Every structure is written in C-alpha cells, then in structure tokens.
Structure 1
Amino acid sequence: MAYSTTIRRRRRTRRIDRAGNPAAIGRWLLFVAGLVALMVVVGGITRLTESGLSIAYWKPVSGILPPLDAEAWQRTFAAYQATPEYRLVNRGMTLDEFKSIFWWEYVHRLLGRLIGLAYGFPLLVLWMRRRIPSGLKPRLLLIFLLGGAQGLLGWFMVKSGLVHEPQVSHYRLAAHLLLAILIFSLLLWTALDLLEPRHGSRQRRWRAMAMVLLLLVVVQIGLGALVAGLKAGYAFNTWPKMGEHWLPPELFALKPFWRNFFDNAIMVQFLHRLNAMLVAGWCLLIAVSTWRFEAPPRTIAAALALLLLIVGQIWLGIVTLVEGVPVAIAAAHQAGAVLVLALTLYFLHMNRRTAHHL
C-alpha cells in the first residue's frame, strides 16, 4: 500500500515538472501582451502620419527586409506611385519624402513579424517539451490562430485603400483594431491566471460592475477606431460644445437612419464624447462603491487608479481634439486607451467568480 502511494506521488511530481513553471509562462505572455500594446500604438502613429498605404504589396517572408540600395528604393517607390494615394494626394512626392512615410509602415509590419516570432517560437518549444498545462493549450492555440488572422486582416484593410480611393475602409480599420484588442486581452488575462492563480474575490457587486465597465471601454475603443477611420477628429475641434451646438444639426444627416451611427463623422465624434462620459461616470460609481462598502484595500486602490487613468485619458482626448489632432498627443491618447483596458481587465480579474486553475 505504501509502495503504491509512493508511485502515485512520483507520477504527480513528474506531471508537475512536465507542466513547467506557470509563473514563467505568465511572464512570457505578459511580455507578448506588451509587444501587442506597442503594436497598437505604432499602428496609430502609422495612421496619424498617413503612412499606412506606403507599402503597396504584402510579402510576409521576403518583405522582412527593407530596400537596401538605390535600385530597390526606386522599385518600392514606383509601386507606391501606381497607387491612388500617390495619384490623388501625393503626386510629385520625392523619394526622400516617400521614405519618411515608408518607415512607419515598415516598422509596423516588422513589429507584427517580431510578435509572431516572440509568441510562436516559445509556444512551439514549450509544446514539444510538454511544458504547457493541458488546460492552457486550447487558449494558447486560439491566440496563435488569431494572430495569423490579424496579419491577413491588416492586409485586407490596406488593400481597401489601394483600389479606387486613397482611404482605407473604416469598418476594416475598426475590425483590425478590435482584433488586436482581443488578442491583447486574451494574453493579459491568461498571464494573470498564471501569475495570480489563487486570487479571487467573492464580491459579486464589483464583478458585475467591472464587466459593464469592460463593455463600455471596448465600445469606446471601437468608436475611437471609427473616429480615426472617418477622420472625425477634425469635424469639430471645440470643447465642450461641437462648434456652436451641444447637438449639431448634422447628427442625422445620412439616410437610412442607422448609417449615421457608423458612417457620419459628426455622429461618431458625438458618440465618442458621450461614451467617454459614461465610462468615467461608471468608473466613479465603482470607486465610490468600493470605498463605501469597505472593499479590500487592493480593490479600492485598483478602482481609484482606474478612475484617475480614465480622467487622464479624457483630458488627453480633449487636448487631441482642440489642438487639431497632433501626432504625439493623439498617439498618447491611443496608448492611454490600451492602459485603461489593461487596468479594467486587471480589476475584473481581481473580482472574478473563482480562482482559475490551469
């Protein structure tokens, strides 16, 4: 009897050893999530500098190298000169001017490839060595597949601006950003599962409130993508009113009615402003609730930090608006959106239903 018990203990020990170090896997996923966040910011800068259509081809492998000599630069520039953006917007652009927009798009694509390597290669090694807990494998495989889909969606988005008009589809832009946000969220949540596996809260009140906040934040990011795609940030550069009005008369200018919520730049900017107030108000309610009902100090601190971050994000949005969308401030605003999402996920994870064991 004692012998069989010893054998079972040894087998359990071997299974734990083969599963690897959950904390190390969590730190790796956290690192990749950081790269994805950086990718979102670089993508925003690429859009703000109008560099996204500068590379008129998609070569996932050979395209990893930039033009290395004058002849290669001329070929790349010639491909750009055949695009609608060059013909209709940048006709007469010099090669040196082209290089200034080429590099942002190149860095954006290169970072995508680096993320693929930073995630795919360790995943393959850990999988082959059986270091991944069995319950984690489906989620990690899903993230890998979503990463591949994101690359395809990125080219699908760029392609929409290479056909007739030098403007990418705002629907495809929103889908591209929201998929990046989904990948980031899955990476961060999985990392938190591994780094804080024993932490769970029984406070149903804040769990439900955090889920509503997460929904509002995701909607706000989606609206931000539509603002970017429609260049709605230039529609009105005043605050708090939109021009001379609280409710501009052009809010429902498009027919049919529903198109205004997706295709009307003025309506989209209005909704982005309105939802920002909803996010801030709901987060204030969460912070007051944690204080009033004597939540654990860690929960109160996270709620207050989230509230301060959201207030700062709104301030950045207002400055971006009234200053005419300067690149640096607008990029900081996009980075702030990722930080708000990350802290919202962290707060929700603190108050999840039960501790998750992988």
Structure 2
Amino acid sequence: MLEKEKKINKLFIYWLCMSLLLVYFAVLIGGLTRLTNSGLSITEWELFKGILPPLTNTSWNLYFEAYKKIPQYELLNFNMSLSEFKIIFYWEYFHRIIARIIGLFFLIPLIFFYFSKKIKKKYLNTCLVILLLIVFQGVIGWYMVKSGLVKDTTVSHYRLSLHLSTAILIMSIMFWLIRNVISNNEKFFFKFSISNIFFQFLIYIIFIQIIMGAFVSGLDAGKIYQTWPLMGKNFFPNDLTILTSKNIIDFNNHSLVQFYHRNLAYFTILYVSLMTLFIYKKKIIFLYKPLYILLIILFLQIFLGIYTLISGLNIYLASAHQITSVLLIFSALNLYYFKTK
C-alpha cells in the first residue's frame, strides 16, 4: 500500500511539473508573439472553432480580411501580403493552442486525482485555485486582445501586464506546491515574521519589476533610450519633466517607464547584495546553495537586460530576458522556501 502511494505521489509531482513547464512554454511563446507584433492577427476569441488553423485559401482569406479591418493593419501593415500574415497568425495561433492544452492537461488529471481520492486534501484547495486562475487567464488574454482591435495598433500595456503577472502568479503557486509535495510538507507562503518579510520582499520586488518589464514591452519603451548606463547622456531622461505628483506615476510615459524599470533593477541588485551579506554574517549555511542559484540567475538577467537594450531590442535577447525573469522569481521563491519552517 505504501509503495502504491509513492507511485501516485510521483505521478502527482510529474503532472504538476509538466503543468508548470507548459505554462512556462506559453509565456515564452506569448512573449515572442508580442515581440513579433503578432498578437492581434486573430480578431475573434474562437474558443472551440479556432482549434484547427485555416486549411484552405478561402479560410485564410477570411482571417486576413478580418485582420484588415483593425487599426494595426490600416495604419502599420497595409502593405502586408497573405504569406506575411500567415507568419504572425501562427505565432498567435500556437499561443492560443498551448493555452487550451494547459487547461485540459490540468483539468482532466485533477478530476482523476479527485474522484480516485489520490490527492491529499491539503493540496486540493491549491490545485483548485490554480485551475480558477488558468480559466481567469484565458479571459484576461481575450480582454487584452480586444484592447487593440478598435482604436490602438497595439494592446493595452496595462492588460498585457495583467496577463503576464497572472501567468507568473500561476507558476509561482505551482512551484510552491511542487516544493511542498516533494518535501511532503505544508509550508505557507504568508507566514509572517521579521526575517520572513525580509525574504518575501525580494519576491515582491521581482514581481513588480516583471510588471514594469511588461509596461516597457507594451509601450515599446525600450526603443527610446538604447544606451547604458545612462539614458542618452543623463541618468534622468532629458525629455521628462516632473511638474506634479501625478507625473511620477504616469505609466503611459515611455521614458518614465524605462527609467523605473532600470532603477528597480539597480534596487534589486542592492537588495540581493544586502541579503547576501545578511546570510553570510548570520552564517545561515543551509541557504548558501539556493542563494548561489539566485545570484547566478540575477547576473544572467542583468547581462540579458543590458544587451537586449544596446542590441537595439534583438528579439531573441528580449525573449531570453523575459523568460529568465521567471527563473529569477523561482529562485527567490526557492530561497524563501528553504528559509521558512
């Protein structure tokens, strides 16, 4: 009986890990869809109808004609051919397909685990929260796309950041659950103490930084200042004037958004440096390994961020920069997990 329980537990872990990898892959494809300006190529939600791509020239022309009616085509891509349209179509199509796969891959095994009573009660509620967030994420995805179909040539950067941050939240919950299942534990994230808050705060910083990165991407704010360490010839962008307190939180301002994204990165480096000193000073040896992992990923992310900028926003570097941010939040979660008792 014990051997059977171990097998079920392994199956449960493999399922969670595969679910996490699928969401990670969806974020990768979603990022490339944004970077290639492909996200508005399918102008209908088509939850069931859109499972198969167009298979005839007539079908392709119907999709292309629908795309021609939106501002992105009329203002930016009016010279686009059908063959060029197919390229951007497939980016969005594959992103939607992987989203459907995630939903089914998570739902069907969860039903099996529940009705066969193979899932522990302490993990069931977390899985249900993840399922609800996955459904919510699908709705957000369409809500985001709709923002670029009427007046604008791109989607709202606020909705884009909501879409990305929800994906990060889903993966973070999955990651924490996997760590609990593997260690046969029930550690709670929101377990407050002074030292816990110190480690939690890093996770919040990275999460906010990812949101700022989505703002930069959504506004194409990385195209304004492509120099480092200065923005042009100054630390503070010379085209920016702060006249009122409202100007400080104007997240529609391209220069300000890039300025915040840069400086939040510097703050993250400073915070991790202080955390490193704290861990070594207190000689918390069991945190050394997860700390090293965090530091390696942080330096990789810094490197990718700088070179993405000065390369003129190379798509592959930008994609790597985005996807490494997920690894960074995982490493911060991992460090905090080791810290909690």
Q: TM-score range by the shorter chain?
A: over 0.9
* 1:338 aligned partner: 326
Matches within 5 A, 1:253-292: 257-258=246-247, 260-292=249-281
Deviation string 1:61-99 (CA, Å, 9 cap, x unpaired) is 121100111111111111111111111111121100101
Distance 1:199 1:121, change over 3 A: closer
Does residue 134 (structure 1) correspond to residue 115 (structure 2)? The answer is no
Larger mean CA deviation between 106-115 and 277-286 belongs to 277-286
Pick from 320, 326, 332: which aligns with 2:308? Answer: 320
1:58/1:155 contact within 8 Å kept: yes
CA distance in 1, matches of 2:102, 2:240: 40
CA distance in 1, matches of 2:5, 2:48: 34
Secondary structure of 1:249's aligned partner: coil
CA distance in 1, matches of 2:240, 2:178: 42
Over aligned residue pairs, what C-alpha RMSD do you find? 2.4
Matches within 5 A, 1:215-234: 215-234=204-223
CA distance in 2, matches of 1:254, 1:137: 51
Does residue 237 (structure 1) correspond to residue 237 (structure 2)? The answer is no
Q: Which runs of 5+ in 2 are unaligned?
A: none
Of all paired residues, the percent bearing the same amino acid is 36
Secondary structure of 2:283's aligned partner: coil
Does residue 70 (structure 1) correspond to residue 57 (structure 2)? The answer is yes
1:39/1:112 contact within 8 Å kept: yes
Does residue 161 (structure 1) correspond to residue 157 (structure 2)? The answer is no
Pick from 48, 55, 58: which aligns with 2:45? Answer: 58
* Regions of 4+ moved over 6 Å: 16-20
CA distance in 2, matches of 1:286, 1:253: 33
TM-score under structure 1 length normalisation: 0.89
AA partner of residue 291 (structure 2)? A
AA partner of residue 307 (structure 1)? L
* 2:112 aligned partner: 125
2:41/2:89 contact within 8 Å kept: yes
Matches within 5 A, 1:24-35: 24-35=11-22
Pick from 186, 190, 198: which aligns with 1:209? Answer: 198
Does residue 86 (structure 1) correspond to residue 73 (structure 2)? The answer is yes
- CA-CA distance at 1:20 after TM superposition: 7.8
2:242/2:248 contact within 8 Å kept: no
TM-score under structure 2 length normalisation: 0.93
- CA-CA distance at 1:165 after TM superposition: 1.7
- CA-CA distance at 1:142 after TM superposition: 1.2
- CA-CA distance at 1:251 after TM superposition: 3.3
CA distance in 2, matches of 1:82, 1:255: 40
Q: Which runs of 5+ in 1 are unaligned?
A: 1-12
Secondary structure of 1:286's aligned partner: helix
Does residue 307 (structure 1) correspond to residue 295 (structure 2)? The answer is yes
AA partner of residue 202 (structure 2)? L
Does residue 146 (structure 1) correspond to residue 136 (structure 2)? The answer is no
CA distance in 2, matches of 1:17, 1:135: 19
CA distance in 2, matches of 1:81, 1:246: 42
- CA-CA distance at 1:213 after TM superposition: 0.7
CA distance in 1, matches of 2:103, 2:135: 8
CA distance in 2, matches of 1:134, 1:187: 16
Larger radius of gyration: 1
* 1:5 aligned partner: none
1:286/1:303 contact within 8 Å kept: no
CA distance in 2, matches of 1:53, 1:255: 36
- CA-CA distance at 1:254 after TM superposition: 7.9
CA distance in 1, matches of 2:26, 2:274: 32
Does residue 187 (structure 1) correspond to residue 174 (structure 2)? The answer is yes
Deviation string 1:233-265 (CA, Å, 9 cap, x unpaired) is 111000000001111233346877246441111
CA distance in 1, matches of 2:94, 2:243: 38
CA distance in 2, matches of 1:211, 1:279: 13
Secondary structure of 2:99's aligned partner: helix
* 1:8 aligned partner: none
